[in-house]
Structure 1
């Protein structure tokens, strides 16, 4: 078991910044990098950590390098090249990708790491901005058991549930399942709320009644009443969900399976994007039913 002292975190968005902050606060010597330097400076001022000018500089001498970026190409942009993470990784170091990305990218990065004597795990997260800030994320990990055993105690700085679900790529595929389930729940919740509103039920009473039964869900408890009030200026944006559902549908095509509900929800989100709603929370799906 490695004694992890120095870590790096690449990507200081609404998820990455608090995750990196938890690492620094839990005693890990953390160096962070963000493409927008002002965000890196703000993170440094808040958490008293170190910041680097390039991903390579951040990765230098780190035992584990974490990433939480936007999409496949964004990840490639910080991993490869003269100033990329791979150029700075010391022998035996671990690269962990928390980005919700494709399983294809996970296999690509695993091969790139192994070629130069490093280890890789794909570890997408669930729990949103609130979970990142509270340190209560769920992490779905793909990789080998030895690397997982080293990384898990470090990831516990910002996670409540960490599970190795299989070899490389399994973490991303598990996250696909997560996003598909959320899409289905939001579709059902939207239709249920539409009926409740139409027949004049009190939404608060409905939620308080149903949340303890078989229909209960995180989405019902946290989004139903705001959906009824047409409040969508928070949480996980439609733009991000469409990126994730696109990954799910591409994987389904590779596996030769059909995901009809996922396609339907994705199409409705596409319509909402065209109407300028892309930055709204995914619970805005109900608006597609009210046209």
Structure 2
């Protein structure tokens, strides 16, 4: 490896972050080789040369390459595509991924790089609007030797380099930080609403918090962006929404990967449009492509739980209770991997038995029969077991519902 002062740097992706990184390095005298899909991407970036023809060309001219693209697919194309960085990899090359992607993608790309003898670091960055001022924090994941090798280049564009742990740790830290950021925005929106409803000018709220916490810029960012009427300008909301949705989706996926429940992430994500004062695109609180997918997953799980076609009774209706039944109860609770559908059915049957509603019990028992999860004898045994805990009067309703489900299912089988 060359001396630290002779390390050659590269940047792929010259958006706000990548372009800022390139400007910061050029200002320090380490002019990077760059590539962007836009041929004129560096025209207004001080000291940054014209883009090279491909990521492969950047790899040939660099020892440490920062990849500052938007999402996982772009990262895969830049790193492993036909003219990607790995196609022209040389001994000693280090790739530093600045894009926020899911943890499994980090490990996938790390494995690909290792197969080519290329070192790899995941690197969350914040705040992005300070990239061109040597003002970002680099949040690193990877082995210490690779961090030490890349550090001279990283120091040329980051005001602080924080090594968080092994591969993936940087991305996990960045995702966790995003949760704090967007969670605080929702808190500020609700707090400002409370103050306004009480006749308090939100500016006074800002004055109190500023005085108590003068460095709380992230906490107050949403409040400061609001107009005189207390709402966020639509142009700002629409600019922030896709980034907010992407980052929170990454947080949810990280939680799933690590087996950590993230209910607040779901609350923030599903209320994102409310937080950003964007009008509903439909009567559903989860409108949009991701919301539609969630709704469809809920309908499919409803059919899986209670039998094919069961969801037709509610599909097309939209009110807060129905929406949450589909989009939360079935799409996010019944769909979790922690318990089987049979386990969840037995738990639900036990709760239903405590309220003594035979029709509800019949629906639950019928689903178990249709799915082959419970036999008639097992359901009858469940009725007796529950009687000992709920009392004989309520158990009568349980027995009635289970018997009706068995009779209907038997009749259907012999029809």
TM-score (norm 2): 0.61
Kindly provide the CA deviation profile for residues 229-283 of structure 1, in whole angstroms up to 9, marking residues without a partner as x. 334445972101111111110121122222111101111226748649x9xxxxx
User: Residues 76 and 273 (structure 1 numbering): CA distance in 2 closer, same or farther, change over 3 Å?
Assistant: farther
- What does 1:230-245 correspond to in 2, within 5 Å? 230-232=231-233, 233-234=235-236, 237-245=240-248
Of 252, 262, 266, the residue aligned with 1:263 is 266
Of 19, 22, 28, the residue aligned with 1:20 is 22
Matched-pair contact (CA < 8 Å) for 2:68–2:99: yes
User: Residues 101 and 258 (structure 1 numbering): CA distance in 2 closer, same or farther, change over 3 Å?
Assistant: same
Unpaired runs of 5+ in structure 2?
283-287, 289-415
Corresponding residue SS for 2:212: coil
Q: Which has the higher contact order (CA 8 A, sep 6+)?
A: 1
Report whether the alignment pairs 1:147 with 2:150: no
Report whether the alignment pairs 1:251 with 2:250: no
The more displaced of 102-111 and 221-230 is: 221-230
- What does 1:56-205 correspond to in 2, within 5 Å? 56-129=56-129, 131-205=130-204
Cα distance in 1, alignment partners of residues 106 and 70 from structure 2: 14
Larger Rg: 2
User: Residues 164 and 181 (structure 1 numbering): CA distance in 2 closer, same or farther, change over 3 Å?
Assistant: same
Matched-pair contact (CA < 8 Å) for 1:103–1:169: yes
Cα distance in 2, alignment partners of residues 181 and 242 from structure 1: 14
Cα distance in 1, alignment partners of residues 273 and 68 from structure 2: 25
Q: CA deviation at 1:121?
A: 0.2
Matched-pair contact (CA < 8 Å) for 1:139–1:163: yes
Kindly provide the CA deviation profile for residues 74-110 of structure 1, in whole angstroms up to 9, marking residues without a partner as x. 1001111331011122111110001111121211122
Cα distance in 1, alignment partners of residues 266 and 102 from structure 2: 17
Number of aligned positions between the proteins = 275
Corresponding residue SS for 2:199: coil
Matched-pair contact (CA < 8 Å) for 2:25–2:156: yes
Unpaired runs of 5+ in structure 1?
279-291
Cα distance in 1, alignment partners of residues 120 and 219 from structure 2: 36
Matched-pair contact (CA < 8 Å) for 2:52–2:58: yes
Matched-pair contact (CA < 8 Å) for 2:10–2:32: yes
Which residue of structure 2 lines up, in the alignment, with residue 52 of structure 1?
52
TM-score (norm 1): 0.86
Q: CA deviation at 1:49?
A: 2.0
Corresponding residue SS for 1:101: coil
Structure number with higher helix proportion: 2
Of 33, 36, 39, the residue aligned with 1:37 is 39
Matched-pair contact (CA < 8 Å) for 1:62–1:90: no
Matched-pair contact (CA < 8 Å) for 1:140–1:163: yes
Structure number with higher strand proportion: 1
Which residue of structure 1 lines up, in the alignment, with residue 413 of structure 2?
none
Matched-pair contact (CA < 8 Å) for 2:35–2:52: yes
Cα distance in 1, alignment partners of residues 280 and 157 from structure 2: 35
The more displaced of 239-248 and 199-208 is: 199-208
Corresponding residue SS for 2:101: coil
Matched-pair contact (CA < 8 Å) for 1:189–1:220: yes
CA RMSD of aligned residues (A): 2.5
Cα distance in 2, alignment partners of residues 219 and 212 from structure 1: 15
Which residue of structure 2 lines up, in the alignment, with residue 6 of structure 1?
8
